[in-house]
Structures are given as structure tokens and as C-alpha cells.
Amino acid sequence: METAEIARRFLAFFEKNGHTVVPSASLIAEDPTLLLVPAGMVPFKPYFLGQRTPPHATATSVQKCIRTKDIEEVGKTSRHATFFQMLGNFSFGDYFKERAIPLAWELVTTPVEEGGFGIDPERLWVTVYLDDDEAAEIWRDKVGVRPERIQRMGKEENYWDMGVPGPCGPCSEIFYDRGPEYGAEGGPEADENRYIEIWNLVFMQYERGEGSGKDYPILGELPKKNIDTGLGLERLAAVLQGVDNIYETDIIGRVLHRAAELTGTRYGDDEQQDVMLRVVADHVRSAVMLVGDGVRPGNEKAGYVLRRILRRSIRNLRLLSGTDASFLHELTEVSIDAMKDIYPDLLDKAQVIFGVIDTEEKNFADTLRSGTALFNRAAERTRAAGGSTFSGADAFQLHDTYGFPIDLTLEMAAEQGLQVDEDAFTELMTRQKETAKRDAKAKKLGNADISVYARLLDTSGATEFLGYTDHEGEARVLGLIVDGEAVGAARAGDQVEIVLDRTPFYGESGGQLADKGVIEADGRGVADIDDVQKPLPGLFVHRGTVRSGELVLDDTVRAAIDTDRRASVSRSHSATHLIHSALRNALGPSAGQAGSENRPGRLRFDFTAERALGEAELAEVEEEVNTVLAGDIQVRDFQTSLDEALKMGALAMFGEKYGDRVRVVEMSDYSRELCGGTHVGATGQLGVVKLLGESSIGSGVRRVEAAVGIDAFRRLSKESLLVGQLSEQLKTPREELPERIDAMVTRLRAAEKEIERLRAERVLQAAADLAAGARETAGALLVVHRAEDGATGDDLRRLALDVRGRLDADRPVVVAVAGVPKDRPVVVVAANKAANQRGLKAGELVGVAARELGGGGGGKPDVAQGGGTDAGAVDRALSAVEARVATSA
């Protein structure tokens, strides 16, 4: 049975049994205590915690999940994966064990031709919590599972909680027996490799108190008992498709076998290669889903997770193929095709997904080059110091800063005859993981308290937004919140959050900043509003300060926005849509929106792109946008179904959640997007749009910024004034300024080069005198010299080598030269072959000097360079070299 069919049957079964089918939430968690969604129940967490009232008594879903805690185990076991899908059925105080258990058994064992999964009951075992007699009895008496197939397990295996005070309860799990060839008899407690868990039924019936791990008190029963189940889609697919592990199922297996073809390997021939192929298959699919949900590669949070799995994929592909060829584009295509039956929206996002992943693969190739250079310098320092062990600190820096896997460092070190201090590397990795665990634990301890907003939303309903047509209106005060607590009144000076039944204020969303304005109770009090947020969908929370008097619950008030600010922000928002269309016309559909901000008179627009735009392309985009403005196209908005909007070509932003009904904003056929923001009535109202620049803000993501309307005019006026001043000062017509400035810059650079040449010559003129003044120290000829400030590192290096070359090559010679270019001290040491034979090596001597300077350095035995931060220690650094030579006899 194909994976997509398993998911379809699961949802159909529970829908037939009265459950509402809920689509998967985004992988990007709304819960501020989480980075990504790690479990199927996460989107329902506010209902289980009582923070929000569930819209349905029961629900079922196929939830996308990401877990990276055990990323190092991916590919090594039959069950670990970073991306997986959790089938679940949920009851919010509706039914409990007596229905959840029989439903699970019915679906799993019902014959395929009758809509079930058709698993032989004789292959199934179940576990229950130690003292959960109720669940054991239902399994035995109602379902008919033989008592010897029901095993009781402890708190670690069969008890669930959220890691914080709140709901908890026992679990019951269904295991599938893979057969004697996979391990020992005796059920799950005997061998969890043979007996694999496929479904976990969680019975939330108690409230837990404070504690750590599984050591906490039970405070009592919950007023409403809940059901949360999780059936691993990939694990069940492995069982129903008769394969050994999840990597060989129909969806993941397609990527795995294509990776084998591309790299010239064959799955099943070599265990080490098999692990790498499984890692690639898992990680490519994970990357596709993360990018599809709006994540972009970066150095922190979800972006770091994406970057890490992509780089692990690239590294494994290079090891498998023995080449630096690019394979991710084709594997991404295979993965999208394999997943499209479950997630058809991947086809619409395909070009953006390709663009992001292709760019990261290219960037990592550049990173590998940079990291390799760092490795070579560190290896050179190791050999120069006479060592044979590459430091664990350097290996960790390569891993942490450049994304170098440790196996790459080990391989490169072995090629140069070096070992790696793996113990030190492991210690540093352990420290990092412990820090990460502490951070994760700290995050778990808190759960954003949105209950005060949830109660308002539940009791009063969503806020009616008037702002598309009205700039002010009468409203009723439904809620007042001061210092996180609901209050009956807010008085002068209070920082207050105000919830109204209706409002003209736009709440910050979709890149558009919130409105500002006032809320006034006639003759009673006035509050200045400087921000509006929507902590829950449909709930507008006005944040500001009570200027005078007081506002009281149930007051009738007048809410009025700053209309000039609204008009300016609306112009920026409409300009954003136009720039988006112009960029797509210039770069193709892969230029997808990756974020935006619309503020008064200014905007920024982030988009996916594999390369920078040249000045000529930016000029064309700007001209195209302003041509549309001159056409004074009417801006129209209307509501329709999501399907209909997408059919007519309306663009949707990645990461945004849309309901069944959506608002479309269109400017003729030039621009058509799903958007809840405010806009101008016609494009001519924008006046003018001036692009201010384009830059990179991350892997595969670029940003343009622009001024709009009067702000754009002021910018152009300022630039015109500046050009006029230059024209006057240089006595050159405006149109000839580029050539005149270019000629001046050329002459200036030539002069700087000549000055540099003369200065270098002056430094080298000292070589003969320095050589003549060499003094004998412990049988060696020694020269130490402080050059004039400003001499570059290259000057010092040339001087040291010149002096060394003038001295007797048959005698040990050491030359140490130091200077302070650009406020940072540099020292260069040159030693000849005779000195090396005496144990005087440049790399070691530079280290002696650099320590005095508060830094480090290294190089070959014959010449080495170092530096530091203490410019006042140059003389001490040279004295340290002199002292080291003096003790070498």
C-alpha cells in the first residue's frame, strides 16, 4: 500500500467516525517555545492546555513534523528520520479510552478491501502503563487481545506529559512483530528491534505539578479527559510495504535509489554507503518540506536546521561519488514528485524550492574552499611546531563555523599524515550540546500565556475590521489588559492593551506595519495607540498609553487612525506588489516573496534569487514599476475561494496560512496576489518609486529597498542637489561627471601605488645595514628589527628574507622583524636551513613573539608570520625571540 493511500485511508476512517479533518499545520511552529513542529499534537496544544476553546470536539490530521535531536542516528537505525508525518486522531473532552482503543484496533486490522490496513492481529502486541487496568481491560475484554500479548511498562515508556506542569497521562502503544529473523521472542519488552511501535495512544486524564524528568506529583484529574494519538506514517508504510526500514518505502526509497544511481553506487552492497544514502534520502526530503514552508538557510533557528541537513547531504553525496558534482537539484525534483500526491502545493512552490536548495549547494562549495584554506593553515601550524596531532579546537571551529563534518577533517588530516585530537573535539561538541539542551529545557519551562486573549476571543468573538472602508468608527471596549492581567479600567499613564468589538486599525501582518491613532471615550478618557497586534487569529489588540482620564470596560469609544500614516503605508504596500511582479518578470517565477516590510514612505522586499541583480537590471525593474504608475491602473480587491484564487494566478506568500475564503488584490493583469493589507485606489497615487539598492540577506535570499511617494521625491531631490554640488566643485557638466570622477579615481590609485612602492623601497633599504649589524648569539647570527609604523606584513616579510639572504648560509641565521601596520602588530621570522638543524624554526619563534603580542601565528620552519592586538608589546616580542635564540645552544 503506497504511503499516500495510507494517509488517505486514515483520514477517511476517522472522518467516517465523526472526526473533522484538519490540514497539516506549517512546520514552523506557532508555539514560541518550539522552533519547528516535532509532534502531531503540537497544533492542538492550546486546546489541551485550556488556552483556547477547540472549534471541533474531535479531529484527525496528517501532520508534518521535524526532529533533529537524534540527527546523528539518521540512516543508522530503521526508525530515525528528521522529517516524518504523524497520523493522529484527537478528542477534546469528547471520548476517551473506551472508544479510542477499539477505533485504533479496527483501523489497523480491518481488511484492505474494507478500507483498513489489513494487519494480521497475530502480528500485533500492545503495551499499557503499569497501573492502567482500565486500558488493559479494554484491550482484553472489548477488543479481544490475548492477555499474554498485553505488556505493562513503566513511566519512561508509557507515560506522557509536556515537560511542564499541565496535562499528563498514561499511554498505550501498538507494536508490530517483524518476525524471528529480527530478534528475540517475548514482545516489546524483550526486543524493540523486532517489535516496532507503530501507534501511540495518549490518555490525558491527570494534571501534573512541578518536577524534573518523570519525577513530579499528580495533582488530580482533569475536568475533561482528552485523547491524543500518533501513528507514524513512514513506519506503517514500511510494515505494509514489507521493507526493512522507512528508507526503503515508496517515497523515501525513490530518492535513495536515485542518489545511488547518480553517485555510481548500489544500495545494499556496502553498509557504510547504505547509511550515507539513507541520510541523503531523508535529508533531501526534509529540506524540500522546510523550504516549502518558508524556511531559508541561515546560521540560527530553523534556518540553521535547514543548512545543516543540506550540508550533510552534500557531504555524503561527495563521499559517495568521489566528485564535487552537484546532485541536489535532481534529487529535489525526485522528492517533490514523490511527495506531490500528499502535498500537491509542492508543485506550485517547486521553482522557489529549487532556487533555494541550488543556491545553498553552490554556497557550500564556496564554504568548503574557505574551510579547506583554514584547515591547511592549521595543519601547517601543527607541522611547524613539530607536532603530528591536529588540534580538537581547530577541528571544532571547522565544524561549528564552516559546517565541516568531523569525518571530512579526519580524512584531510590523514592525507597530510596528521591525527586529529578527537577527544578534545568530542569534549567541545559535548559542551555545545549541553548548552543547547539547557537552552531547550529553558524554553520548555515556559509556555506563552495567551489564555487572557483566548478568553476574550471565546467570549466576544473575532474583531470586526472596518479599515478597508473606514478610518474611524464607534466601538465597544470588550477587554482591557494591563501588565498581562485583565482589568476593569485603565487610567492616565497606564500602558494598556485594548480589545474592541470593531476597529478601523490595521493589525500588523503580511509585512504591513500597524496603524497608529487614538481611542477616545467621549468626555472620559483618551488613549494614544502606537501598535496593533493579532496574538490570535481574528483578535485585534490595540497597544498604547492612556493619555488622560480613564477607559472603562464596556465603554463606547471612538477609534480613529492617523490617516496620513495609513495613506503612506498603503502606498508602500501597493509598491511592494508592483516590485514583486517586476522582479518576477526580470528573473522568472523563482523570484518568490520571502518577506517584506511596508512602513510610511519606505519598503523592503525580500525574494528568492540565485544571483544579485546588476545595476542595469535594477534600473529596468524601477522603470517598469514607474511605467505602471503612470498608467494609473485601478487597484481592485475581492474575496473568493482559495482554489479559485490560485486558478486565476494569484500569488500566495510562503509561510502564510490561508482559509477557505481569501482576499485578492489585483492591479489589472500586471499584479494579482492574496493579501489582507490596505492599498491605494489606483497606481497613480504612488507618485514615484525609487529603488535604493539590492543586497544579500542570506543563502538564496536577496532584498531590495525602495522609497515611495514624497519620500522618493525627497530622495531624488537630495541626489540631484548632490550631483549639482559635484558638478560645481569639479567644474564639469553633469553628464560628464562619471568620466571625470573615474579619471580622478584612476589617478589617485596610481598615486597610492607609487607611494606604496616608495615606502616598500625605503623599508628594504635597511636590509644591508641590518645584515652588517647581525650579532652572534649562542652560535647563531641574529637580527632583530622594529620597522617604521605603517610597513605592511608583505614589507616585513620581504625585508626578513632579504636580510637572511645576505648572511652566511653555512651558519645558523635568524631574522625577526616587527612593525605595526594599521594599529595591529605583525612579526615575521625567517630562519635558514642551518638554524632549523639547530632546532631554531621560524614557526616556533613566531609563536613565542605572537604570545607577547596577545595573538598567534605560524608558518613553515624557514619563514613564519604572526600578529596580535597589543601594539605596545612589539619590543617585548622581539626580545622574546632573542631570548629564545640565546638559550638554543
Residue 769, pLDDT > 80, answer yes
- pTM, to two decimals: 0.65
Is 580 annotated to bind ligand?
no
pLDDT in tens, 91-135: 999 999 999 999 999 999 999 999 999 999 999 999 999 999 999
- Structurally, how many domains does the chain consist of? 6
Average pLDDT score over residue span 806-811: 89
Residue 418 maps to a domain:
no
Together in a domain, 760 and 770: no
Together in a domain, 114 and 71: yes
CATH of the domain at 180: 3.30.930.10
3-state secondary structure of 9: helix
Together in a domain, 69 and 184: yes
Sequence letter at residue 330: E
Together in a domain, 871 and 772: yes
Together in a domain, 99 and 177: yes
Written in H, E and C, the secondary structure of 839-889 is CCCHHHHHHHHHHHCCCEEEECCCEEEEECCCHHHHHHHHHHHHHHHHCCC
pLDDT score for 401 = 67
Helix axes 271-292, 345-384, angle to 10 degrees: 130
How far from chain centre, in Å, is Cα 599?
Answer: 25
- The set of residues, in sequence order, having a beta carbon less than 8 Å from that of 534 and lying 6+ positions away, is 507, 508, 509, 540, 541
pLDDT score for 440 = 45
Residue 744 maps to a domain:
yes
Nearest of 83, 130, 113 to residue 1 by alpha carbon: 113
> CA 862 to CA 830: how far, in whole Å?
6
Q: Which of 217, 248, 279 is the last residue of a domain?
A: 248
Sequence letter at residue 782: L
> CA 254 to CA 331: how far, in whole Å?
9
> CA 402 to CA 390: how far, in whole Å?
17
Average pLDDT score over residue span 278-293: 93
Q: What is the DSSP letter of 164?
A: S
pLDDT score for 692 = 92
> CA 659 to CA 677: how far, in whole Å?
16
3-state secondary structure of 154: coil
Together in a domain, 712 and 857: no
Residue 71, pLDDT > 90, answer no
Q: Name the range with the highest mean pLDDT among 15-19, 219-223, 792-796.
A: 15-19
Q: Is 498 exposed, middle or buried (0-12, 13-18, 19+ CB in 10 A)?
A: buried
Residue 34 maps to a domain:
yes
Q: What is the DSSP letter of 424?
A: H
Average pLDDT score over residue span 401-430: 79
Q: Name the range with the highest mean pLDDT among 123-132, 726-735, 746-755.
A: 123-132
pLDDT score for 575 = 96
Together in a domain, 24 and 171: yes
Average pLDDT score over residue span 354-369: 82
Q: pLDDT confidence of 443, banded at 50, 70, 90? A: very low
pLDDT score for 667 = 95
Together in a domain, 203 and 62: yes
Together in a domain, 217 and 129: yes
3-state secondary structure of 523: coil
Within 10 angstroms of residue 494's Cβ, the number of other Cβ atoms is: 17
pLDDT in tens, 538-559: 899 999 999 999 999 999 999 9
| Per-residue CA distances from 1 to 107, 113, 116, 477, 779 (Å) | 14, 12, 11, 56, 84
Residue 97 maps to a domain:
yes
pLDDT score for 442 = 41
- The set of residues, in sequence order, having a beta carbon less than 8 Å from that of 777 and lying 6+ positions away, is 882, 885, 886
pLDDT in tens, 571-596: 999 999 999 999 999 988 878 888 89
CATH of the domain at 862: 3.10.310.40
Residue 810 maps to a domain:
yes
Average pLDDT score over residue span 432-452: 53
Together in a domain, 52 and 186: yes
Residue 402 maps to a domain:
no
> CA 336 to CA 27: how far, in whole Å?
16
Query: What percent of the chain stands above pLDDT 90?
Result: 54
Is 577 annotated to bind ligand?
yes
Range of the domain at 264: 253-363
Q: Which of 301, 330, 363 is the last residue of a domain?
A: 363
> CA 830 to CA 863: how far, in whole Å?
4
Residue 13 maps to a domain:
yes
Grid cell in block for residue 523: 468626555
Torsion of CA 394, 398, 401, 407, to 10 degrees: -140
Q: pLDDT confidence of 445, banded at 50, 70, 90? A: very low
Q: Which of 561, 596, 624 is the last residue of a domain?
A: 561
Is 471 annotated to bind ligand?
no
Computed over every residue of the chain, the mean pLDDT equals: 88
Nearest of 504, 514, 454, 438 to residue 475 by alpha carbon: 504
pLDDT score for 417 = 84
> CA 105 to CA 231: how far, in whole Å?
12
pLDDT in tens, 498-527: 999 999 999 999 889 999 999 999 888 999
Instruction: For residue 649, report the phi and psi dihedrals to the nearest 5 degrees.
Output: 90, 15
Q: pLDDT confidence of 81, banded at 50, 70, 90? A: confident
Instruction: For residue 470, report the phi and psi dihedrals to the nearest 5 degrees.
Output: -120, 145
Q: pLDDT confidence of 704, banded at 50, 70, 90? A: very high
Which of 137-151, 155-169, 521-535 has the least mean pLDDT? 155-169
Is 56 annotated to bind ligand?
no
Together in a domain, 98 and 130: yes
Which of 55-59, 163-167, 441-445 has the least mean pLDDT? 441-445
Q: pLDDT confidence of 605, banded at 50, 70, 90? A: very high
Helix axes 842-852, 874-886, angle to 10 degrees: 140
Grid cell in block for residue 526: 483618551
Residue 388 maps to a domain:
no
pLDDT score for 168 = 92
> CA 187 to CA 83: how far, in whole Å?
28
Grid cell in block for residue 479: 477587554
Together in a domain, 350 and 282: yes
- The set of residues, in sequence order, having a beta carbon less than 8 Å from that of 303 and lying 6+ positions away, is 295, 296, 297, 698
